[in-house]
Chains A and B, each alone.
Chain A
Amino acid sequence: MIETAVQSPNSMSQQVTDQGTHLPTVAPTEVPAFKVQNLSIWYGQKQAINDVTIDIPSKTITAIIGPSGCGKSTFLRCLNRMHELMPHTRVEGKVLFQGEDLYGAGVDPAAVRRRVGMVFQKSNPFPTMSIAENVTVGLKLNGLRKRSLLDERLEKSLRMAALWDEVKDDLKKPGMSLSGGQQQRLCIARAIAVEPEVVLMDEPASALDPIATMKIEELIGVLKSNYTIVIVTHNMQQASRVSDKTAFFYVGKLIEFNDTKTLFSQPKEKKTEDYITGRFG
């Protein structure tokens, strides 16, 4: 069932690069991870996303900013079809992930989410599980049984999440026994243990203290070399610190998308300028 959405990596080379003017300064990669075309999303009668077209480059950190209720979370969640968990959602337009339509007929949302993982605002380690079980549960429930492979992935994921040294002697302890910042890094380890290609982050540090936030931000910078990262944040300083590209959303519309530096120093749109200078939101 996973195979339905997984496609051979060589299809990446078949992609036509038409990314145009918005090439990231840091990693001018070949193909965008996501090509979003004229996307609109409704919850019942309420339109949350209005005709958004954007290319999200791969192996890059893209930040999404905007005032509350601007649709930034909804947009993030539509990249791995998590928004469908809300009843009565409707999608128009296309989301192409590595050239493949995420909303195409016969695409299994579970298969999409294996490739596009997610970290949430509130850290949510599974309360019935130990630290180790929390990291490996995604692999186990997706059918990986081999002990040695699980142990290997466990250590690798915890190391990548910069948590290994802190918990390596306590792997059997409950995941809930960790501090808030550690729990969030555990959740990041859990998300990357299934080896997705993209990690979506929905305000991953908004519930943490400054030091824990700093650690998460450092971690995001490190993860960039292996993963495409899309991060929603209401904290503009955070967006400017961690991201390569920034998209500004306002009432469901994409107002401006550019290199982070450019967007914060020379915004093209009046709305963007008003927002980043703190005139509203």
Chain B
Amino acid sequence: MQSTPGNNRRWRTIKSAIVSALSFIAAILVVAPLGFVFFHLVRSGAGAVNLSFFTQLPKPVGEAGGGMVNAIVGTAELLGIAALIGVPVGVLGGVYLAEYGSARSNRMLRFIADVLNGVPSIIWGVVVYGLVVLRFKSFSAYAGGLSLGLIMIPLIMRTTEEVLLLVPNGYREAALALGISRWKTIVHIVMKTASKGIVTGILLALARVAGETAPLLFTAFGNRFWNHSLREPIAALPLQIFTYAISPYEDWHRQAWAGALVLIVGIFFINIVVRLLTRNPAFRVL
């Protein structure tokens, strides 16, 4: 103890400095790719992002110019269908987990939801291909939206459950003690209190599936023209990027970069909305 207090302290200071430096480097390594990706996208893609990119259909091979308006609209449509499937099922599933389920069934459901969250997205594409595309003998917007919606369900379910569990029990008790029925308590008190958290979960799930490509390969398939029926193949930004990026044409490569930039800015935008939502001082949950 009394031998070398000075040395001891010096050695501790050195250790502390080493660990600080290592964690700093690790933090940089985490953030740097985002910076590189964004920088590279802007450099390669910004030039091709112009008005016609947002307003024109793709031009035939060999003609310069054209845009990806059909893919942008297609992605929006696919997200809409995905939300129609994923939001109600996911939110209600989360409500069940947080408010109704027994401890044992919940443990099982949570485990399954977590496994589903880990399933590679291409598997969802294959599943929907087998269930929908083969049966109706056509790629379609419905099939694409369904595959994205299925990915959203376990994501939304778990976030909804988590924010509902953050609502203090005192509010449930207060509402029930007023003679308010259980389901009204859940809808008007618990879910209302957690509404921003639930919306945040939904937006994050949308942002996550907006960039999914693999599940759309065998479901939405892609389309170089406008989609006139949801029963037909539909274009999507990630698919279009994929197609253009592996093509041999310079002009298409530029457009692929532009598409990637637009997609990432869109996802960025969703995340910023989430940030604003969660920063509001009235936001007590999460």
Q: Write the residues of chain A forming the contact surface with B, with a CB cutoff of 8 angstroms.
A: 1-2, 80, 82, 85, 87, 109-115, 117-118, 120, 122, 124, 126-128, 137-138, 141-142, 174, 187, 190-191, 194, 196
Contact A194 B179 (CB under 8 A): yes
Contact B177 A122 (CB under 8 A): no
Of residues 158 to 205 in B, which have CB atoms within 8 Å of A's CB atoms? 168, 170-182, 184, 188-189, 192-193, 195
Contact B177 A117 (CB under 8 A): yes
Contact A111 B174 (CB under 8 A): no
Is the CB of B275 closer than 8 A to any CB of chain A? no
Contact A141 B193 (CB under 8 A): no
- Binding site of B, secondary structure by majority: helix, strand, loop or mixed? helix
Contact A110 B171 (CB under 8 A): no
B114 vs chain A, min Cβ distance (A) = 24
* Given known contacts A126-B189, A127-B193, A82 and B178 CB-to-CB distance under 8 angstroms: no
Is the CB of B15 closer than 8 A to any CB of chain A? no
List the B residue with the shortest CB-CB distance to A119.
B177
List the B residue with the shortest CB-CB distance to A196.
B179
List the A residue with the shortest CB-CB distance to B174.
A124
Partner of B178, one of A2, A114, A128: A114
Considering the complex of A and B, which 10 residue pairs feature the smallest CB-CB distances, nearest first? A114-B179, A138-B178, A118-B177, A124-B170, A113-B179, A141-B180, A124-B174, A110-B181, A110-B179, A141-B184
Instruction: Give the chain B neighbours of A85 by CB distance below 8 A.
Output: 172-173, 176
* Given known contacts A82-B173, A85-B173, A141-B184, A126 and B178 CB-to-CB distance under 8 angstroms: no
Contact B168 A124 (CB under 8 A): yes
Is the CB of B107 closer than 8 A to any CB of chain A? no
Contact A113 B177 (CB under 8 A): yes
Contact B178 A113 (CB under 8 A): yes
Contact A128 B174 (CB under 8 A): no
Which interface residue of B168, B170, B174 has the most chain A CB atoms within 10 A? B174
Q: Can you list 28 A-B pairs, Cβ within 8 angstroms, ordered by A?
A: A1-B181, A80-B177, A82-B177, A85-B172, A110-B180, A110-B182, A113-B177, A113-B179, A117-B178, A120-B173, A120-B174, A122-B170, A124-B173, A124-B174, A126-B171, A126-B174, A126-B175, A126-B189, A126-B192, A126-B193, A138-B178, A138-B179, A138-B180, A141-B175, A142-B178, A191-B177, A194-B178, A196-B179
Contact A120 B170 (CB under 8 A): yes
Instruction: Give the chain A neighbours of B182 by CB distance below 8 A.
Output: 110
A213 vs chain B, min Cβ distance (A) = 20
A112 to B176 Cα, complex, angstroms: 10
Is the CB of B40 closer than 8 A to any CB of chain A? no
Instruction: Give the chain B neighbours of A111 by CB distance below 8 A.
Output: 179
List the B residue with the shortest CB-CB distance to A109.
B176
Of residues 201 to 246 in B, which have CB atoms within 8 Å of A's CB atoms? none
Contact A113 B176 (CB under 8 A): yes
A54 vs chain B, min Cβ distance (A) = 21
A186 to B57 Cα, complex, angstroms: 61
B194 vs chain A, min Cβ distance (A) = 9
